[in-house]
Amino acid sequence: MSNGRKKLLIIGGVACGPKAAARARRLDPSAEITIIERGPLLSYAGCGLPYYIGGSIPELDGLRKTQYGVIRDEEFFNSVKDITTRTRTLAETIDRKQKTVRVRNLETNVTEDISYDKLVLAVGASPVRPPVEGLNLDRVFSVHVPEDARKMRELIESGEVDKAVFIGGGRIALEVAESLFAHAVDTTIIEIEGSILPEVLDPEIAATVAGALRAEGVAIFISEKVLRIEGNEDGRACKVVTETREIPTDIVVVATGVRPNVQLARETGLAIGETGAIAVNERLQTSDPDIYAGGDCVECTSLVTAKKMYAPLGSTANRHGRVIGDNVAGGDATFPGIVGTCVMKTMGVNVSSTGITERQARDLGYSPLTCIVPSMDRAHYYPGGKPILIKLVADAKDGRLLGGQVVGPGDVTKRIDVLATALTSRANIDDVANLDLGYAPPYSSALDTVAHAANLLKNKRDGIVRSVTPMELRKRMGRDEDFVVLDVREASELEKSKLDDKRVCAMPLSRLRSSAEEIPKDKELICLCQLGSRSYEACRTLEGMGFDDVKFLEGGLRFWLELGEWNG
Amino acid sequence: MSNGRKKLLIIGGVACGPKAAARARRLDPSAEITIIERGPLLSYAGCGLPYYIGGSIPELDGLRKTQYGVIRDEEFFNSVKDITTRTRTLAETIDRKQKTVRVRNLETNVTEDISYDKLVLAVGASPVRPPVEGLNLDRVFSVHVPEDARKMRELIESGEVDKAVFIGGGRIALEVAESLFAHAVDTTIIEIEGSILPEVLDPEIAATVAGALRAEGVAIFISEKVLRIEGNEDGRACKVVTETREIPTDIVVVATGVRPNVQLARETGLAIGETGAIAVNERLQTSDPDIYAGGDCVECTSLVTAKKMYAPLGSTANRHGRVIGDNVAGGDATFPGIVGTCVMKTMGVNVSSTGITERQARDLGYSPLTCIVPSMDRAHYYPGGKPILIKLVADAKDGRLLGGQVVGPGDVTKRIDVLATALTSRANIDDVANLDLGYAPPYSSALDTVAHAANLLKNKRDGIVRSVTPMELRKRMGRDEDFVVLDVREASELEKSKLDDKRVCAMPLSRLRSSAEEIPKDKELICLCQLGSRSYEACRTLEGMGFDDVKFLEGGLRFWLELGEWNG
């Protein structure tokens, strides 16, 4: 610090790095701030790449423009922010004693040592390369950097892509699939796990999303392992071979998740966490207090489970950047953690999740209490409403909310953001039921579906009602067990759809009280309606009349039908 | 209780009453449950009336149908819920010793005593009749019961309504105004307070909403008192006379709020609260433990201020009903209170508010810290984004969030529901800034505007930046004070709109560092940009270069322009 100016060196120029640099500059006008970026571009919105591929974002430069239209390039960082940037520059080694980083210019191959007072690792993540032969063939893509997207769009616009196969059924795959769909590309998704989006959705919720995609013509194969990609004589991918089938294709997209870039940190001797990402404290310091890390290369604390988790997201990277910027400029900011919120759009379906899933809750030793509620996203009598499906997961022990999943064509992100906010304050289901959410007919029911779902959880917890899931009912129907399904919908509804099983008997809710003598007293009764609310009421009515083995079908016939052939 | 069955008597059959009855029935199958309703209809969605008037809800019956299409009439309550209902029946007196209610059949005029074990008052509210002459003229409406809406729609569809005047500029007025607008009715709104929606929006936010309505052609006069309505020779309203003008009209809508119906409770000797509504405890019991009350006739506890407030809303009535149903059936449920959330739609603008406004905060003795942030409702590069404007109010003492207002054509209800949820957990601005909200480009920026606004509040609290509001700047410009406004937008933006004042000088952010010598050192500098973020950055840059009296224009030029002529 010969000139008395603090030297801040930031490795990584995409999301967390530039944010940290800009924040530090705003707080410390005299610091020497340098960003090193291995790629050619700075400060681009990686989350926008799927939409560039599909063309809804016309220019790739749109992803690195400010909201007032100026491109965030080297000149921008220099003139506007007084931040030095070096693109196509790789950080090779860190000398923590000397506090220097050896960097290599990837154009000239010249190396150089840059000294620092505070160092920031914002080195991101890299696509996982699954154990599949043929990943190096032409026309095999991952969607990680702008160049990937540019090549893909070019190829698609060339008209040479009629068919696409996705290896992996996670968020990126589904976002890019939507883009290809917009280009009328025949799309196949292959997921090795038992359901798509396995990290954020429970299998039955994922099944409804998969059902919606299949209805649009997308082929989805789950629990299926890809063995190899085969190429033609030109070295271009032309076929994907799985354990059970061969799928001809013009393009292969590998989207099997990302892995944190930890090699540099590991070689430098910094602590790596149990998740495999760089370990940091609340101030986002690594095990070396002069080295900070944030974004896709670090692990976060789950505010739900208090455990470490790896959930790389642009929003988290952005918030990390601000905290690091504060701290390297001499402040004392903390990043408490995340609840693990994920939202995405795919082919007319909005998909969202926060906290942990039922499966994750079980794996972590909780006794999860869950419910599934289908509804419209506004007052049922207000025109233009669209369906949504909500699943809540709570701890049966103390009623604390653990997570939520909301999917459907309707407004799901409002509900997931409410649940994410409630999770942050460790709300229980009574708190959620009592929330004073905005109500007017164009936006919600008088009791929003989030609160309604919380009330159903309370009823289940308090033993006021018992339910069966469609998955349980399907299994039991298959086993030829003896019970009666009372379809309590009105006659006009039965014409549209009904369950075809000899154990199903029509008994409209309006006739239930007057026709109780028609209902067998000695059999288990499972009430069924369209959305689950009338059948819940039927349960209470029947119990009031002395029937003692009564349940309702959770999620109603709508959820049953959305599950398609799936039976868990 | 000769037959051992508990007698539950509920006075009021619209929202809270039927909900309480239905919940009690589900919990207590043997209770004798009776609902008394003075009007002809049961269990209708009063909040839907404005949309029926406009025709987006085709049939009035749609407002009293279940989501599966069955009308909630006497027969429905009897056969489905085993609840006795008596419409057109007025509760006249309560004998608390004998535990009976004297009711009068309004058709036959016959009176009768009905005994109860537990009594529920869900008697609602009535429209306030302002001190205006001519309220009894023909074609003077309030919009409170279905019959009001039916008559209004009939009249509008007759083609005899070209002009309408609204007395009052609150929520109902604006919702109905939207409906008339859909019928090309020339609309005037007269509000006695200094801004529309005075209870839920601060004046400058209300001014932007009023500006949007005026742009659609609605005439809005604020701070103006209506003296009388004049009629023609047929006794029909034809003119509204205010202190300053006469407005010819074909119809007058009186929408000056509602007042709780407390006469029966007062005559019965039940405690009336400081707000003028019925006082209840957390279990929603009145001062007589056998008499419960809920919905529009009671006051609520504010979870923000811990004071009582009167905020009648269908959503609250619904939640009250459930709690009362639990308790009259022998349970022990509580209603903790509300934060005061309000949302509404009017002519392409979504309007929302939660907690308290800046003005209310001042009146209550807080030192409010506020900020205003305009933004798009999704990533700025993602197509189809719409503008929203957010104002946050926090307590300067401890940073606790006190309220929020979000308005605009974009997705405001998501943000208000997040703020409402945060208020419930007594979040402070650091908590809001750290929220892990769902991020994908179609739904939000990487840092959602709610978190961005919280960060701006933090910057203001920590003294990192100072701002002036457009209202302050307009006043100071008018006073001919000496200062410099630096417009830091790019040249291309200046062509579209700029401030016309000799103190304004163009200095694009990209030139700020290199052209600092052009900027006077001895004058107060006010930086200005489109949305407020570049000007904030410009402040930090200038301070770093040694300028010490630097502020930015909060809300940017967009907010300035949305305010129209308004200057607080």
pLDDT tens figures, B432-484: 999 999 999 999 999 999 999 999 999 999 999 999 999 999 999 999 899 99
Question: pLDDT value at position A566?
Answer: 82
Statement to judge: residues B34 and B183 lie in one domain: no
Inter-residue contact A188 to A166 (CB < 8 Å): yes
Statement to judge: residues A557 and A528 lie in one domain: yes
Q: State the average pLDDT over residues A14-21.
A: 98
Task: Classify residue A107 as exposed, middle or buried by CB count within 10 Å of its CB (0-12, 13-18, 19+).
Answer: exposed
Q: State the average pLDDT over residues B320-334.
A: 97
CA distance B284 to B270: 13
Question: pLDDT value at position B4?
Answer: 80
Statement to judge: residues A206 and A291 lie in one domain: no
Q: State the average pLDDT over residues B3-31.
A: 95
CA distance A375 to A386: 8
CA distance B334 to A399: 16
pLDDT-derived band at A568, boundaries 50, 70, 90: confident
- Residue B219: name the closest of B173, B256, B254 by CA: B173
Contacts of B438 in chain A (CB under 8 A): 341-343, 352, 354, 413, 416-417, 420
Share of chain B above pLDDT 90, in %: 95
Statement to judge: residues A486 and A398 lie in one domain: no
Q: Catalytic site residue B47?
A: yes
Is B68 near chain A, with CB under 8 Å?
yes
Under DSSP, the state recorded for A219 is E
Among the three residues A256, A274, A291, which one is the final residue of a domain in this structure?
A256
Question: pLDDT value at position A4?
Answer: 80
pLDDT tens figures, B32-79: 999 999 999 999 999 999 999 999 999 999 999 998 899 999 999 999
The 3-state DSSP class for residue B387 equals: strand
pLDDT-derived band at A565, boundaries 50, 70, 90: confident
pLDDT-derived band at B208, boundaries 50, 70, 90: very high
Question: pLDDT value at position A1?
Answer: 43
The values of phi and psi at residue B146, to 5°, are -55, -35
pLDDT-derived band at A376, boundaries 50, 70, 90: very high
Indicate which CATH number applies to the domain containing B421: 3.50.50.60
| Model confidence at A19: pLDDT above 60 | yes
Question: pLDDT value at position B167?
Answer: 98
Statement to judge: residues A441 and A473 lie in one domain: no
Statement to judge: residues B246 and B289 lie in one domain: no
pLDDT-derived band at B1, boundaries 50, 70, 90: very low
Q: Which of B344, B381, B424 to mutate to test the interface with A (most CBs of A within 10 A)?
A: B381
Is B496 near chain A, with CB under 8 Å?
no
* Candidates A26, A376, A437; nearest CB to B537: A26
Residue B317 to residue A68, Cβ atoms within 8 A? no
- Residue B421: name the closest of A190, A167, A542, A450 by CA: A450
Question: pLDDT value at position A2?
Answer: 52
| Model confidence at A156: pLDDT above 50 | yes
| Model confidence at A191: pLDDT above 60 | yes
Helices (H), A338-439: 358-363, 413-424, 429-433
Statement to judge: residues B293 and B379 lie in one domain: no
CA distance B435 to B430: 9
Amino acid at A311: A
| Model confidence at A182: pLDDT above 90 | no
Average pLDDT along chain A: 96
Helix (H) or strand (E) holding A187: strand A186-190
| 3-state class percentages of chain A: helix first, strand second, coil last, to nearest 5 | 30, 25, 45
Residue B420 to residue A435, Cβ atoms within 8 A? yes
Domain annotation covers residue A339: no
| Model confidence at B565: pLDDT above 90 | no
* Contact pairs from chain A to chain B, CB under 8 Å: 272
pLDDT-derived band at B2, boundaries 50, 70, 90: low
pTM of the model: 0.97
Closest residue of chain B to A425, computed from CA coordinates: B425
Inter-residue contact B341 to B37 (CB < 8 Å): no
Distances (CA, A) of B431 to A409, B336, B418, B436: 30, 22, 12, 10
Under DSSP, the state recorded for A307 is S
CA distance A49 to A59: 10
Domain annotation covers residue B336: no
| Model confidence at A462: pLDDT above 50 | yes
* Candidates B416, B434, B436; nearest CB to A438: B416
- Catalytic residue positions of A? 47
Domain annotation covers residue A53: no
Statement to judge: residues A317 and A363 lie in one domain: no
Range of the domain at B210: 140-256
Statement to judge: residues A355 and A456 lie in one domain: yes
CA distance B125 to chain A (A): 18
* Candidates A70, A420, A425; nearest CB to B437: A420
Domain annotation covers residue B489: yes
CA distance A408 to B149: 34
Domain annotation covers residue A52: no
| Model confidence at B201: pLDDT above 60 | yes
Statement to judge: residues A220 and A237 lie in one domain: yes
Statement to judge: residues A225 and A153 lie in one domain: yes
Question: pLDDT value at position B364?
Answer: 97
Share of chain B above pLDDT 70, in %: 100
Helices (H), A57-106: 74-81
- Residue A319: name the closest of A296, A302, A342, A353 by CA: A296
Statement to judge: residues B153 and B228 lie in one domain: yes
Domain annotation covers residue B567: no
Domain annotation covers residue B171: yes
Contacts of B63 in chain A (CB under 8 A): 381
Question: pLDDT value at position B27?
Answer: 96
In degrees, to the nearest 5, what angle opens at C-alpha B152 toward C-alphas B146 and B153?
A: 90
Among the three residues B440, B461, B482, which one is the final residue of a domain in this structure?
B461
Chain B 167-226, residues with CB within 8 Å of chain A CB atoms: 175
Amino acid at B493: E
Among the three residues B217, B239, B256, which one is the final residue of a domain in this structure?
B256
Residue B69 to residue A341, Cβ atoms within 8 A? no
| 3-state class percentages of chain B: helix first, strand second, coil last, to nearest 5 | 30, 25, 45
| Model confidence at B541: pLDDT above 90 | yes
Chain A 69-128, residues with CB within 8 Å of chain B CB atoms: 69-70, 76, 79-80, 82
ipTM: 0.97
Helix (H) or strand (E) holding A65: none
Count of domains for chain A: 4
Q: How far apart are the first and last CA of chain A?
A: 63
Q: How many CB atoms lie within 10 A of CB A481?
A: 11
| Model confidence at A375: pLDDT above 50 | yes
Domain annotation covers residue A177: yes
pLDDT tens figures, B173-190: 999 999 998 889 999 999
pLDDT tens figures, A296-307: 999 999 999 999
pLDDT-derived band at A564, boundaries 50, 70, 90: confident
Q: State the average pLDDT over residues A133-160.
A: 96
B180 bridge partner residues: none
Is B251 near chain A, with CB under 8 Å?
no
